Structure 1
């Protein structure tokens, strides 16, 4: 009977040591999981910061694109206005020649018609 008690005590000791080893492994796993979770949170925070910065750059690009379009439209209007001004000036000169009785070409007459002077 004493042998049985000793064997059971040895077995209990062995089981206890295995349990302690498993608890230690579990503690290590828990510690590692916590580290990984912290890394995930930090990575998400960095990703959010980078995303906000990206959105800021996209907004700035759109703002610059709108300015470029606006400047292109203004340039186009200015060129068109300058061209119309030049055409009207030329048409007025032709009209003055017409009033003086000078001979006008077909092209001159078309210019006067285009300018609404005849």
Structure 2
């Protein structure tokens, strides 16, 4: 772009110099002819010829000046157009860069969303596994409670059986002790075991 601007400026200078030289040349010629008309004695035909020539030169001069102005305006418009074009290119580059950044952000968002979905799925799987293990523990605890209740019933029955055995033994021992005591009153001599049995049941 810098090289293009330099070439454009040089071209502009060359055009201006060429047009300007032509204008100066015509102006000098007009001055020379007018001076000739004013300072020399000329016949009517020659004077009219010079006047017509001056008129033609003035028309050419006006045309060149108008062309010069038009050329200047055209060059200015061209320069503005190129500046606008450069600005559009710059903005387009910025827009492309912004678009690429936006795409990168979208890619990162998709990546983060994917990671979040994956983490959520892992959480759900872990939660389901935990629920399954919890149900297993609950089931095991239920089995243990049922076993404990069964054991309690067995122990209760065993205690009742033992109590019944002891009660029956005590009953039998007491009946025996009463029988021994009756025999003692009848004069029978008692052994040590029999005396202890009587004491146990508070008969003597």
TM-score normalised by the chain length of structure 2: 0.49
Are 1:111 and 2:201 counterparts?
yes
User: 1:58 maps to what in 2?
Assistant: 141
- Aligned mate of 1:70, from 153, 167, 171: 153
Contact 2:177 2:198 in 1 (8 A): yes
User: 1:47 maps to what in 2?
Assistant: 130
User: What do you get for the CA RMSD once the two structures are aligned?
Assistant: 2.1
**Greater C-alpha radius of gyration:** 2
Q: Which structure's relative contact order is higher, taking Cα pairs within 8 Å and 6+ residues apart?
A: 1
Contact 1:91 1:111 in 2 (8 A): yes
Distance in 2 (CA, whole Å) between partners of 1:109 and 1:68 is: 38
Are 1:12 and 2:12 counterparts?
no
TM-score normalised by the chain length of structure 1: 0.81
**Cα distance change of structure 1 residues 4 and 52 upon mapping to structure 2, 3 Å threshold:** same
Which runs of no fewer than 5 residues in structure 1 stay unpaired? 114-118
Q: Deviations over 1:8-56 (max 9, x none)?
A: 0100110010011111111111111111111111111111100100101
Distance in 2 (CA, whole Å) between partners of 1:26 and 1:5 is: 31
Distance in 1 (CA, whole Å) between partners of 2:114 and 2:131 is: 26
